[in-house]
Amino acid sequence: MATIIQNGIIVTASETFQADIKIDNGKINMISNQITGSNEDTILDATNKYVLPGLIDPHTHLGIKGTLDAFETGTRAAAAGGITTIINYTDPDNSQTFLEDLTEWKEKAQNALIDYGFHSIINKCDKDVLEQISKLPDEGVTSIKLFMAYKENMVNDEELYLLMKAAKKAGVVTNIHAENGSVIDCLIEEALSSNNTKPIYHAYTRPPATEAEATARALRIAEITGAPAYIVHITCEEALKEFVRAKEKGVNAFGETCPQYLVLNEEYLKQEEKEAVKYICSPPLRTNKDQEALWHNIKSGSISTIGSDHASHPYVNGKENGINNFTKAPNGLPGIESTLLLLYKYGVCEGKISMSKLVEITSQNPAKIFGLYPQKGSLNVGSDGDVVILDPNKSSIITKASQKQSTEYNVYEGMEVQGSIEYVLSRGKVIVKDNKVVGEPGSGKFLYRNKFTEQSQEGRL
Amino acid sequence: MATIIQNGIIVTASETFQADIKIDNGKINMISNQITGSNEDTILDATNKYVLPGLIDPHTHLGIKGTLDAFETGTRAAAAGGITTIINYTDPDNSQTFLEDLTEWKEKAQNALIDYGFHSIINKCDKDVLEQISKLPDEGVTSIKLFMAYKENMVNDEELYLLMKAAKKAGVVTNIHAENGSVIDCLIEEALSSNNTKPIYHAYTRPPATEAEATARALRIAEITGAPAYIVHITCEEALKEFVRAKEKGVNAFGETCPQYLVLNEEYLKQEEKEAVKYICSPPLRTNKDQEALWHNIKSGSISTIGSDHASHPYVNGKENGINNFTKAPNGLPGIESTLLLLYKYGVCEGKISMSKLVEITSQNPAKIFGLYPQKGSLNVGSDGDVVILDPNKSSIITKASQKQSTEYNVYEGMEVQGSIEYVLSRGKVIVKDNKVVGEPGSGKFLYRNKFTEQSQEGRL
Amino acid sequence: MATIIQNGIIVTASETFQADIKIDNGKINMISNQITGSNEDTILDATNKYVLPGLIDPHTHLGIKGTLDAFETGTRAAAAGGITTIINYTDPDNSQTFLEDLTEWKEKAQNALIDYGFHSIINKCDKDVLEQISKLPDEGVTSIKLFMAYKENMVNDEELYLLMKAAKKAGVVTNIHAENGSVIDCLIEEALSSNNTKPIYHAYTRPPATEAEATARALRIAEITGAPAYIVHITCEEALKEFVRAKEKGVNAFGETCPQYLVLNEEYLKQEEKEAVKYICSPPLRTNKDQEALWHNIKSGSISTIGSDHASHPYVNGKENGINNFTKAPNGLPGIESTLLLLYKYGVCEGKISMSKLVEITSQNPAKIFGLYPQKGSLNVGSDGDVVILDPNKSSIITKASQKQSTEYNVYEGMEVQGSIEYVLSRGKVIVKDNKVVGEPGSGKFLYRNKFTEQSQEGRL
Amino acid sequence: MATIIQNGIIVTASETFQADIKIDNGKINMISNQITGSNEDTILDATNKYVLPGLIDPHTHLGIKGTLDAFETGTRAAAAGGITTIINYTDPDNSQTFLEDLTEWKEKAQNALIDYGFHSIINKCDKDVLEQISKLPDEGVTSIKLFMAYKENMVNDEELYLLMKAAKKAGVVTNIHAENGSVIDCLIEEALSSNNTKPIYHAYTRPPATEAEATARALRIAEITGAPAYIVHITCEEALKEFVRAKEKGVNAFGETCPQYLVLNEEYLKQEEKEAVKYICSPPLRTNKDQEALWHNIKSGSISTIGSDHASHPYVNGKENGINNFTKAPNGLPGIESTLLLLYKYGVCEGKISMSKLVEITSQNPAKIFGLYPQKGSLNVGSDGDVVILDPNKSSIITKASQKQSTEYNVYEGMEVQGSIEYVLSRGKVIVKDNKVVGEPGSGKFLYRNKFTEQSQEGRL
Ligand SMILES: [Zn+2]
Ligand SMILES: [Zn+2]
Ligand SMILES: [Zn+2]
Ligand SMILES: [Zn+2]
Ligand SMILES: [Zn+2]
Ligand SMILES: [Zn+2]
Ligand SMILES: [Zn+2]
Ligand SMILES: [Zn+2]
């Protein structure tokens, strides 16, 4: 009844070695140089293959109204891509408190194929909200998200201060979408009034300076409050400079980027409008120079995690609305299932990062930051048996035809990737086999995450 | 006949978890949540204790003429301090080639209690020398050391260039003692001619600017040649700034510091001469501000390793000669046995570094840089069973009375340290038990080290 | 009828030399090595004395309701201190447009003894305001001021953007009070609710990070809009770092500091409350380390000007209100008459700056930035005959007893200063003689200032 | 008998204004708005023309054996280009002491048309040399030059230290040619042994890292000794970074660049060998990015001066020798007469620097650094009447045909320049009139320069 992975190349956040792994009752309970199983055991041969801890995607938007992937299809696609845990964003619903809203989200997620947690988006600040933050950890949620852009959701500096302070006190990490929405709105108005409506103006009206400014400001408030701040989707060199400066001063800052910012660029927004609208996301795609800066900061350890920021906006009645006016297209890209193979091909195979770094940023670091470690994010004895077996020798082409996610398009269409995800295990159970998802809806569990403490960051201190 | 360590808190360079370890035939072959042994096995209970990979001291000077610790006493002291591998410096002997010299050093080391390797010091550059460098890896030695100070040994820039270039080609790391000896000699002459002969003038005539300059110059030559450069004993903020700048530019640079630069300062050189002379080492002890910079750069990952730079100069007919003239005292401090407990107390317990960082800098990193990984520097399946069991709850005072090294004095005399080294295992065999060294002279083996490759640095890329 | 200054040491922004100066019809018309006058001429002997262009104080708050110095007493004190031009801030009055308000201010100033101009404070942003900005230069006003702190006056990022953009288009400089008022208000509320009401909490609730953040943000918006931005009263190293970074990137940024930030520190706020309340100003007094950073950045050219930020709040029914609650004391210090002697003593005599730098920052730079050059800020042929004759050999003690300004206290009470202001000339007419003000109320003129252009900055490019 | 320049636009290092200038007995004695002369006076009309202080070229190599321009032709070319003072390098002659050598150089220069001084090149260090340095100022020479490259002339770090220390004590500035000659020689040997002999390899074997390293090292020794260090011909961004870092730390550092590094680039070395050899100079021509960095650092004030580094190597039996082996071509470019027009066109007209900055770097700064101010480098009353009248409205093409220097080629051949040098005055006497040199050989005087003091730098502190 145990699962045994034999003869694989095990990769941890700092080492690579060959050994067998045994998983029993959902937990890893042995690593040894030769583990033989009984007839009852599932034996997986990983000879010449990498054995990685299952990926944790800390930035997904499943189940958002108007998008195509709710939890079943979304987590199926995730599983196919080697992801065994997601932390999904709620959508603020101002008709109820955000704690009530959280309860609904837990229900929505019940048909997930993989384990999941939530970040609570908060878009206002009053006594009730501050009070509820203190109760969030009891609900198993230890992170909130604040926006510095988007008029309907953005908080001002006073609110940022009060919410981050309350979050810190509660052991809750504050995730921040860092763009200066006020300045961006001015730039958009200027663009539209000059009839500059093409998709590339989405990028031109959200220049790096607006992201860098908001990043710096958020981290100043983190500095003053002492609160841990997690900057989501960092996209450019300008913002990275601010981020690194704060981190060097000792600010409790964590940075995330996304595969799209590493492998796509603003040229995609300069295509024919029909095509370009698919690539509208915020912050926007940047330049190749920014890509290099992101890779460099992953390697140097400044950037801690990779999130897909998966948002499955439809093309019809969605992206296409932006064709004559970039502001009408919904912001966000689908891509949950491609993270691992993109990073393996364009990061590891191209010499930008090591296998250990890949494991660190896609699994161990999100686990540590978001209170899931050591249950998740590790292949050590005692951890959940969430495992990916990757055959490094096969390659493939990303296409809509073979994708699991529900959108009518794939933003990585035609890109070559390296590696084949042979098996994915969730708590010892095979959920992907030979690239086919065999896990069952509802087998994923809600994860009660631990509070943030500095001590929980062991290994990065 | 196996050795089993039960119930300990295993610390790796990135994680901490509880499990049992089994060592068979000198190699770790199992990590599991419950390993029970047979009667023949040695069972060690590590409940509530840390289980660490044995330390690698990459900077020792055992067996130098005029010093008190040759390999037997020196490695006994090392073992008592949790060190299971040393990489010792040869002493250049210009009556023979350095390859011939190496053969003699291998013989001298045969009564070591722990495993060992060598760095070859080179103090000249001609065709023969360049030719021999290419043969060094065949002798199991994959690092050389060059001096930028000390008239009798220093190489000039042309030699630095040619030697580093040859070393790179051979897969050999170049270790560099980085101080501008020419400028220092001028400063010393000025001091002596002004009758400034007290020990503190040892520090004043080797100011941070001289270390920083040489560090920058060495790394420029590394930049131009593309050679990997390992800067030994970095001591100060000024030098660190140069080091970090080069590293950020992509220079293949590695940095080492020593416990004495982390816990002692130049005030020790201002004591009464009789006492102060003990503290003469090069580069000299610095200020508390420099200590902070060193800790900060260990935490940030800029500094990769800790070496003791153990040099057991006697007091009588040694250190005491410096009483009336600081230039007459031999340079270097004894201290091989105190590294682990000093770092645990003043690093981990004071919140400056995590346990994982301690393992990374004292074991995993030196193993990776100097071609010993994964045989050494790891607790994974397949690695040598070199293990330290540390009881974190006991404390002690460092004194000459209880030291193992052979000097008549201890530079850390009276300092409190935390943690007790209960057991040390070398390839599965207990060599320290309850703070007593039980290993036998001659049981240490010469280690054939692998050539340096960028790929061997997995985990830091 | 001409005025001739003989044999003085003339100081310009780049040179020092000995010569005579002749002023005719209010303008300098000759510099020569020997100018002899007729009986009708006024001859001033400046042997062994410095001859400087009259100071321009670009930051004064004369005529503010509740303060003690309106234009007559305020400009009398200014003249006594060697100031021959002020640029005074209006006070926004929301019952009328700011252009109407400006007309009132011009009337209020009619009894000034020295020449004057205005910066218009703007505290809101709508179509009318944006429209009026374009008309400001016609009124002779080519600078506005925006606040990022103080709830009643502060503008948000959208307003900052729109106002700076409009100002740029109009050839108008934007002056910015850069403190993050939102965060500061949170910190004040925390302090008061913890009963931390002493004057030093004024400093603790406005930490350097709040000034640095706002400075960086303002300059980001300057970067995006391309507008020239003049940061008033920079006080600390943290803010300077942001300022210098922006300037190095090519942002059109100018920086001002004030004598109080150069010679006073936060220790003054830790005195007995009765005394400490006098020192409440915003941003608050900082540390000695910040003073050093300010001097260093004056010397390096990053900081362009010195303003007194003179605000003559009374002690009775003013400052004293803060004794039990720091928030009740009006913000701002009097000090218009001490700028020159403080800078001479603590800058020039202590070797921090040269005489030429003193002239550059107190006269030539404000003239160039604010559109008064070459009429003001120069001793060249063609410029107004605004001159100070400073005897460097006399010294004195600043005391309330001998001050000209109207407050019941002097924040520099008891400080020694060097140099004696023997004569001050306004357009060739003696207005101060032997430290006595002999100028007449109403002899000052409103100055129509030129629009800002990059070309007008000649000498700094 | 006076000379009066009427109605010109006078440019000083910080200002631009319109006035008349009167020069009497060789000295400026009046600046006024209307100076009318007598019949005996020379009246020059400068309406709509710039009136500048004569240029000081602090880096010339006239009179070197094997070159074509000795003092007569060289200073004629200089005068034609608006230069009224040169500071020429001696050539070390090891058959006599450098003081004896200096006497010879003073004789050689007696037929100069303009005023001149010398920098003494020193290529060794012994007691005698150190002793002679102390006597240099008595000979009117207050600067020495040391080489860090070129085997026959370079000094090592000990010598650098001792010479700079002695120079500082004597009030003498140390000029430094900063390239790491040891590393360069290795790179050259590698290039030649790989048959890489084309002119572009001159650049590839002297990469920016070798200049940056030497610059940093020289300035470290300046830091330790406290000596003023003047880095000649800075060429690249890498070296500038080191330079600026040192300057910001307070090192007494001055930087020079040359017109060739501002307007030529390494593409010139990639031309056909016959042409490319003309462009061999050390350090070599760099890239456009380096040109931008140089302009930026001139504007920011980091670079203080412009020298032509004029070396009139012949093509026949000179440059042509490098055709098949770049190391055989003499290093150095002719160009003394083009500095002003090149800087006016590519600096001022292209918006990179202001007219005042041009005056500062070509006249006032070299005068201050090298002890000639206020006699030279200024248009103030009391200064020498060295003046250039520049008509900004004419343009021309640089060609060998119209050059005054003696080489068979012109490295700026075909480049357009702006401005026409109408008149040049040396101590009030017209030496260039309508682009024709009318000065007489022998009318130039040797200048006794003052010792270096920090105070002499007034205006830059
Ligand atoms: Zn977002
Ligand atoms: Zn998102
Ligand atoms: Zn050493
Ligand atoms: Zn050593
Ligand atoms: Zn203010
Ligand atoms: Zn103010
Ligand atoms: Zn040179
Ligand atoms: Zn030269």
Report which of B146, B139, B155, B101 is spatially closest to residue B121, judged by C-alpha positions. Answer: B146
Taking the C-alpha atoms of residue C255 and residue C232, their distance in angstroms, rounded to an integer, is: 6
Q: Is pLDDT of D252 > 60?
A: yes
- pLDDT, residue D459, reads 59
- pLDDT, residue B94, reads 82
Q: What's the first-to-final CA gap in chain C, in angstroms? A: 39
Residue A330 phi, psi (nearest 5):
-65, 145
- D143 near D451, Cβ under 8 Å? no
CA-angle at A188, arms to A187 and A194, nearest 5°: 95
- pLDDT, residue D72, reads 98
pLDDT digits (tens, 9 = 90+) for D71-103: 999 999 999 999 999 999 999 888 888 889 999
Cβ neighbors of A91 (< 8 A, separation 6 or more) are A61, A63, A64, A65, A101, A121
- Ligand 2 center to A434 CA (angstroms): 30
- pLDDT, residue A58, reads 98
Report the CATH architecture of B54-373: Alpha-Beta Barrel (3.20)
- pLDDT, residue B459, reads 60
Strands (E) in C212-348, as ranges, are 229-231, 253-257, 305-306
pLDDT digits (tens, 9 = 90+) for C433-443: 988 999 999 99
Taking the C-alpha atoms of residue C28 and residue C26, their distance in angstroms, rounded to an integer, is: 7
Interhelix angle for B208-225 vs B237-248, to 10°?
Answer: 20
Domain ranges, ordered by start, for chain A: 54-374
Helix (H, G, I), strand (E, B) or coil at D68: coil
Q: Is pLDDT of D456 > 80?
A: no
Taking the C-alpha atoms of residue B378 and residue B368, their distance in angstroms, rounded to an integer, is: 10
pLDDT band (50, 70, 90) for residue A395: very high
Q: Which of A11, A18, A30 to mutate to test the interface with B (most CBs of B within 10 A)?
A: A30
Bridge partners for C144 per DSSP: C120, C174
Best CATH choice for the domain A54-374 from the list 2.120.10.30, 2.60.40.790, 3.20.20.140, 3.40.50.2300 = 3.20.20.140
Average of per-residue pLDDT across B345-353:
97
- Among partner residues D158, D210, D216, which is closest to B186 by beta-carbon distance? D158
Taking the C-alpha atoms of residue A442 and residue C229, their distance in angstroms, rounded to an integer, is: 58
Which percentage of chain A shows pLDDT scores above 90? 95
D7 touches chain C (CB under 8 A): no
Cβ neighbors of D294 (< 8 A, separation 6 or more) are D234, D235, D240, D257, D261, D262, D303
- pLDDT, residue C457, reads 77
Q: Which of C224, C236, C243 to mutate to test the interface with A (most CBs of A within 10 A)?
A: C224
Taking the C-alpha atoms of residue B174 and residue B136, their distance in angstroms, rounded to an integer, is: 12
Alpha helices, H only, D50-151: 71-80, 98-108, 127-135
pLDDT digits (tens, 9 = 90+) for D160-219: 999 999 999 999 999 999 999 999 999 999 999 999 999 999 999 999 999 999 999 999
Taking the C-alpha atoms of residue B373 and residue C140, their distance in angstroms, rounded to an integer, is: 75
Q: Is pLDDT of C92 > 90?
A: no
pLDDT digits (tens, 9 = 90+) for A221-274: 999 999 999 999 999 999 999 999 999 999 999 999 999 999 999 999 999 999
- pLDDT, residue D9, reads 97
Helix (H, G, I), strand (E, B) or coil at D425: strand
Average of per-residue pLDDT across D112-124:
97
Helix (H, G, I), strand (E, B) or coil at B264: coil
Q: Is pLDDT of C366 > 90?
A: yes
CA torsion sign for B310, B315, B320, B321 is negative
pLDDT band (50, 70, 90) for residue B455: confident
Report which of D158, D174, D256 is spatially closest to residue D219, judged by C-alpha positions. Answer: D174
> Looking at this predicted complex, what is its ipTM?
0.95
Q: Is pLDDT of B53 > 80?
A: yes
Which percentage of chain D shows pLDDT scores above 70? 99
- pLDDT, residue D332, reads 98
Cβ neighbors of C397 (< 8 A, separation 6 or more) are C414, C415, C416, C417
Q: Is pLDDT of A461 > 80?
A: no
Burial class (CB in 10 A: 0-12, 13-18, 19+), B317: exposed
Helix (H, G, I), strand (E, B) or coil at C294: helix
Tokens found for residue A249: 């001063």
The topology under which CATH files domain C54-376 is TIM Barrel (3.20.20)
- A451 DSSP assignment: P
Mean pLDDT of chain D, nearest integer: 96
Residues of C in contact with D354 (CB under 8 A): 457-461
For chains B and A, having 3+ Cβ pairs within 8 Å is answered yes
Half-sphere exposure of C232 (CA within 13 A, CB side): 28
C183 touches chain A (CB under 8 A): yes
CA-angle at D456, arms to D454 and D461, nearest 5°: 60
Tokens found for residue B280: 């003469």
pLDDT band (50, 70, 90) for residue B174: very high
- pLDDT, residue C1, reads 83
Q: Is pLDDT of B456 > 80?
A: no
- pLDDT, residue C459, reads 60
Compute CA distances B227 → A432, B162, B189, B221, B250, whole Å: 45, 11, 34, 8, 12
- pLDDT, residue B444, reads 98
Residues of B in contact with A15 (CB under 8 A): 12-13, 364, 374, 378, 380, 458-459
pLDDT digits (tens, 9 = 90+) for C248-273: 999 999 999 999 999 999 999 999 99
User: Which residues have their alpha-adjacent CB atom under 5 A from ion ligand 5?
Assistant: C 177
- Among all residues of chain A, which has the CA nearest to that of B375? A17
Interhelix angle for C98-108 vs C127-135, to 10°?
Answer: 50
Average of per-residue pLDDT across C308-318:
98
How far off is chain C from D240, nearest CA to CA, in Å?
A: 14
For the domain covering D52-375+446-457, report its CATH number. 3.20.20.140
- pLDDT, residue A17, reads 96
Tokens found for residue D283: 């350090």
- D181 near D151, Cβ under 8 Å? yes
Average of per-residue pLDDT across A50-66:
98
CB contact under 8 Å between C217 and A212, yes or no, is no
Touching A (3+ Cβ pairs <8 A), the chains are B, C
- pLDDT, residue C53, reads 98
- B173 near B143, Cβ under 8 Å? yes
Taking the C-alpha atoms of residue D18 and residue D6, their distance in angstroms, rounded to an integer, is: 9
Mean pLDDT of chain C, nearest integer: 96
Taking the C-alpha atoms of residue A156 and residue A123, their distance in angstroms, rounded to an integer, is: 10
Tokens found for residue C81: 């201190």
Tokens found for residue C368: 């160039």
Taking the C-alpha atoms of residue A120 and residue B338, their distance in angstroms, rounded to an integer, is: 49
Tokens found for residue A428: 């010892």
- The most distant pair of C-alpha atoms in chain A lies apart, rounded to whole Å, by 73
pLDDT band (50, 70, 90) for residue C456: confident
Q: Is pLDDT of C64 > 90?
A: yes
- Ligand 8 center to D68 CA (angstroms): 15
- pLDDT, residue A459, reads 59
Which of C82-86, C372-376, C453-457, D25-29 is the least confident region? C453-457
Alpha helices, H only, B29-97: 71-80
Strands (E) in B223-345, as ranges, are 229-231, 253-257, 305-306
- A362 DSSP assignment: I
User: Which residues have their alpha-adjacent CB atom under 5 A from ion ligand 8?
Assistant: D 309
Half-sphere exposure of B293 (CA within 13 A, CB side): 18
Interhelix angle for D237-248 vs D288-299, to 10°?
Answer: 30
pLDDT band (50, 70, 90) for residue B435: confident
Look at the block and give the residue holding tokens 């974190």. Answer: B392
Alpha helices, H only, B360-413: 365-369
Cβ neighbors of B409 (< 8 A, separation 6 or more) are B278, B315, B319, B400
Q: Is pLDDT of C455 > 80?
A: no
Look at the block and give the residue holding tokens 């060609």. Answer: D399
How far off is chain A from B19, nearest CA to CA, in Å?
A: 7
pLDDT digits (tens, 9 = 90+) for B229-288: 999 999 999 999 999 999 999 999 999 999 999 999 999 999 999 999 999 999 999 999
Average of per-residue pLDDT across A355-378:
97
Q: Which of A5, A7, A15, A16 to mutate to test the interface with B (most CBs of B within 10 A)?
A: A15
Helix (H, G, I), strand (E, B) or coil at C17: strand
CB contact under 8 Å between C158 and A187, yes or no, is no
CB contact under 8 Å between D158 and B212, yes or no, is no
Q: Is pLDDT of C460 > 80?
A: no
Q: Is pLDDT of A460 > 60?
A: no
- pLDDT, residue A300, reads 93
- pLDDT, residue C424, reads 98
Mean pLDDT of chain B, nearest integer: 96
Instruction: Kindly compute the dihedral angle of the four CA atoms of residues A52, A54, A59, A60, in this order, to the nearest 10 degrees.
Output: 130
Average of per-residue pLDDT across B193-197:
98
